[in-house]
Structure 1
Amino acid sequence: MLAKRAMTDSAARRLPEHSPYAQAARRDHEEYGQKIIQAQQLHEQLPAASQRPWSWGLRSGHRVLARDVERTVGFLDDTDDAIIAAADLLQRSGRWREAWERELDPLRDSVAALDSVLEDRAEMTAQEERAATDLVRLGDGISTELDELTTQLQQDRIDVDSALERLDALTGELSAAVSRLQQLHIARLAEDGDEEEVLREAAGDVVDEEYLSLRARRHRMEHLGAGSTFWHLSPVLWYSSWHHTSSSALETHRSPSASGSTAGYSGGGFSGAGSSSRF
């Protein structure tokens, strides 16, 4: 644990002072230090495996403690990697290309989801079809620009902050186009105000894609609680998920009696945590 922490602390010291993207990594490093202390305190409460009675793990308090240790250690592992990757990227050192590809992933996922935008083309109004076609055309252009940005970085013709800002700008263009398409899609499907609300509220049921990029961390820092990070990073992929989720929600709203179901319960054994190599 000490060796990995030394690497993480060293990476934090390499973060550029004036980069707005580095600020998110520095904040993560502050929280990282607090979590280190918390993890040590939690681990001290765990009895050694050889000293645990046969009943250890059966009580809810034991399970809560073990899960707390597991979650904290998981956070530390993720944050270790994120801070080191941020320093590598912003300084263009070490494994910066891997970190850069991580920044591209949300937009590449959106580009890959463009075909889904035209899935129900036959049912679209002329205005909706035009908006969908414009979105696909925009996405195709963005795909080309991502490759160009990568080349510019490799050839030192653009600094990293400017490249990241361009990714944010491209994402904003996609978000605006997706928002226009979504409005037209809702206008076509909804028969009244209640159905419009059902379709809009389905956004809350979209399963979040947890991106670990530096841009994602900056967004979470600056817009805490202000909507889905998924939407702000990969809007077309988000739209594809919302499209299916909202259709199901509307069907359920129109035929509520057909949506009833019963849920069962399944239990499993408890393996416990606390054997992390960090401690």
Structure 2
Amino acid sequence: MGIMRKIMAVMALLVIGLLGGAGAALAFPPAEVLVEDRAGVLDGNTLLPAVRSIEFYEPTTVAVYTYNGAASDNLNEEVLRFARAEHPEWISQDGQKWADGLFIFALDPVGRHVGTYMGEDRKVSLQQREDIQDASKELLRDAQWTEGTIAGIRRGAELINQPWYRSTAFLVTAWTSAVVTVTGATVWLIVRWRTRVDSRRELARGDAGYANVTMDLQVTELNAGTIPASSRYGGTVLEKHRTFLSRYNTATGLSNRVHDLGGKELSRRSNLKLIRSYADATAELDALDDVIADTNALLNRGSTWAAAWDRQLAPFRDDLEELEPMLGKSHAEGDSATAAVLRSFRSQSGSDLELWTSELADGTISPETALDRLRDARTQLSELLKDHADTVIAGYARNKKESKLMRKNMEKAQAGTPDGYGRAYEPSILGTVYPSYYFFSVPTFSNGLSSGVSSVSSARGGGGGGSTTGYGSSGGSFSGSGSSSNF
């Protein structure tokens, strides 16, 4: 028993060192953050604060580079080409390595490549570079480009210049030196700690949504009370409202249950699931009460009708703005006849939006007619995107099997999940009246295109997950530390 107590004491000190000492070791925010988002897929308002808050073991310059390539591209070669042309300071003075103190995270969302590159004083092993890339891939496969980039950089910060006592080799030796029961107990503690952190984050999200809904509850009821039930749109929104109070009461019950949980109970996975259901329920209610307010304001031409109308136009405007970047991607067949039709539609729609808003303002058309026109325009865009999908598939697929594979990926993107009901709720009047899969948005089309091209490329044998370490024929004698892989 004395030996066991000593082992337990040693392991306890190790855990304290790993969980407590790690924070002290990560001491330096990035010396500089450079973003070259040539693919236009990153949200700078989210990316920059997140990366600047990441702590490295040593002052490190973080560079992010994105571009729209192809599945057959060598990302390493492209990153080196870009650095030589646009950022020679990223390269060492002798031109053979990456500059000291530098960490580059590169992404090709179309070719489905991710790469990591480091200066000689920041380099890690090939396996660790793969680890950094793997940390981002689940998010990147889901087209969460910004979040995936942040995840990769965060993992890079954990591995670059990692102290010996945090290295994988040391951890493996330390863990395997202890008895299995102690190891199991330690893992159990870590899992509980992580669950408790997630529970508190979800609880805060749920409380924020619940507070908003509660504060607006009386106003929501007043808004619902004056929505014209005879309206096609108002009637459907009122149907959603009929369950609003019931759902609010359910959320209240969930709130009481989750706030009765003690600190230890927050560490249980079953309770995390309960808290997450509370957060999701309040988020849905918070979105719905905004839609109820907009429906009342627009249909009754209230004092805030113009702002409510703008919010209805926002998803369509976003689609129109995303059209040209999408058509400029590799394999998007931007020079095709169907692409020309989409561009013509975009130009005409811009004029239409101004006309509808003007007619709505002077009473020439009713709010219902304006919503009808918006619905018809978004439906027409959906059909044009489906036509263009046929063009894209015909241009990239070499046979019927590849065509079927691409179409499956694009249809899956539109549906969200295999059952066709998995797309996120759009907090608008049309998004409430019609199911989430009713409209085919441009970002959804773009994601389907990327996944379709990637799937076909993989089927052809070009999509393996192994790392690429060379810099291609144009790299010359360059031998900087770096590699890339597919996702």
Determine if the alignment matches structure 1 residue 13 to structure 2 residue 228.
no
Task: Mark the CA change 1:18 to 1:138 in structure 2 (over 3 Å): closer, same or farther.
Answer: same
- Given residue 323 of structure 2, which amino acid in structure 1 is its aligned partner? L
1:242 to 431, 436, 448: 448
- Given residue 258 of structure 1, which amino acid in structure 2 is its aligned partner? G
Q: Partner of 1:198 in structure 2?
A: 405
User: Using the alignment, how far apart are the partners of 1:65 and 1:121 within structure 2?
Assistant: 44
Task: Note if contact 2:298-2:308 (Cα within 8 Å) is conserved in structure 1.
Answer: yes
Superposed, 1:93-104 pairs within 5 Å as: 93-104=302-313
Q: CA deviation at 1:16?
A: 1.1
User: Using the alignment, how far apart are the partners of 2:250 and 2:332 within structure 1?
Assistant: 55
1:45 to 251, 254, 257: 257
User: Using the alignment, how far apart are the partners of 1:114 and 1:228 within structure 2?
Assistant: 19
Q: Partner of 1:107 in structure 2?
A: 316
2:293 to 34, 59, 84: 84
1:55 to 258, 264, 268: 264
User: Using the alignment, how far apart are the partners of 1:3 and 1:163 within structure 2?
Assistant: 31
1:52-100 Cα shifts (integer Å, max 9, x gaps): 5441301233323322222222222222222111111111113222221
Task: Note if contact 1:103-1:213 (Cα within 8 Å) is conserved in structure 2.
Answer: yes
Structure 2: gaps (5+ residues): 1-212, 417-422, 468-487
Question: 1:74 is paired with a residue of what secondary structure?
Answer: helix
Determine if the alignment matches structure 1 residue 64 to structure 2 residue 273.
yes
Determine if the alignment matches structure 1 residue 179 to structure 2 residue 386.
yes
Question: Bigger shift: 160-169 or 182-191?
Answer: 182-191
Q: CA deviation at 1:47?
A: 4.5
Task: Note if contact 2:413-2:445 (Cα within 8 Å) is conserved in structure 1.
Answer: no
- Given residue 71 of structure 1, which amino acid in structure 2 is its aligned partner? D
Determine if the alignment matches structure 1 residue 168 to structure 2 residue 168.
no
Q: Partner of 2:363 in structure 1?
A: 156
- Given residue 57 of structure 1, which amino acid in structure 2 is its aligned partner? L
- Given residue 105 of structure 1, which amino acid in structure 2 is its aligned partner? A
Q: CA deviation at 1:146?
A: 0.5
The structure where helix makes up a greater share of residues is 1
TM-score normalised according to structure 2 size:
0.47
TM-score normalised according to structure 1 size:
0.78
Q: Partner of 2:461 in structure 1?
A: 255
Task: Note if contact 1:198-1:253 (Cα within 8 Å) is conserved in structure 2.
Answer: no
Higher Rg: 2
Superposed structure 1 runs of 4+ greater than 6 Å apart: none
Task: Mark the CA change 1:139 to 1:123 in structure 2 (over 3 Å): closer, same or farther.
Answer: closer
Q: CA deviation at 1:38?
A: 0.8
- Given residue 19 of structure 1, which amino acid in structure 2 is its aligned partner? S
Task: Mark the CA change 1:11 to 1:245 in structure 2 (over 3 Å): closer, same or farther.
Answer: same
Task: Mark the CA change 1:153 to 1:67 in structure 2 (over 3 Å): closer, same or farther.
Answer: same
Task: Note if contact 1:131-1:181 (Cα within 8 Å) is conserved in structure 2.
Answer: yes
User: Using the alignment, how far apart are the partners of 2:451 and 2:332 within structure 1?
Assistant: 18
Task: Note if contact 1:109-1:237 (Cα within 8 Å) is conserved in structure 2.
Answer: no
1:146-168 Cα shifts (integer Å, max 9, x gaps): 01111111111110000010111
- Given residue 217 of structure 1, which amino acid in structure 2 is its aligned partner? T
Q: CA deviation at 1:145?
A: 0.5
RMSD: 2.7
Question: 1:258 is paired with a residue of what secondary structure?
Answer: coil
Question: Bigger shift: 10-19 or 55-64?
Answer: 55-64
Task: Note if contact 2:229-2:238 (Cα within 8 Å) is conserved in structure 1.
Answer: no
Question: Bigger shift: 243-252 or 86-95?
Answer: 243-252
Determine if the alignment matches structure 1 residue 212 to structure 2 residue 421.
no
- Given residue 183 of structure 1, which amino acid in structure 2 is its aligned partner? D
Task: Mark the CA change 1:209 to 1:73 in structure 2 (over 3 Å): closer, same or farther.
Answer: closer
Task: Note if contact 1:113-1:240 (Cα within 8 Å) is conserved in structure 2.
Answer: no
User: Using the alignment, how far apart are the partners of 1:257 and 1:179 within structure 2?
Assistant: 26
- Given residue 248 of structure 1, which amino acid in structure 2 is its aligned partner? S
1:120-174 Cα shifts (integer Å, max 9, x gaps): 699959xx71221122111110111101111111111110000010111112222
User: Using the alignment, how far apart are the partners of 2:408 and 2:288 within structure 1?
Assistant: 32
Size of the aligned set, in residue pairs, is 247
Task: Note if contact 2:331-2:392 (Cα within 8 Å) is conserved in structure 1.
Answer: no
Structure 1: gaps (5+ residues): 221-226, 262-279
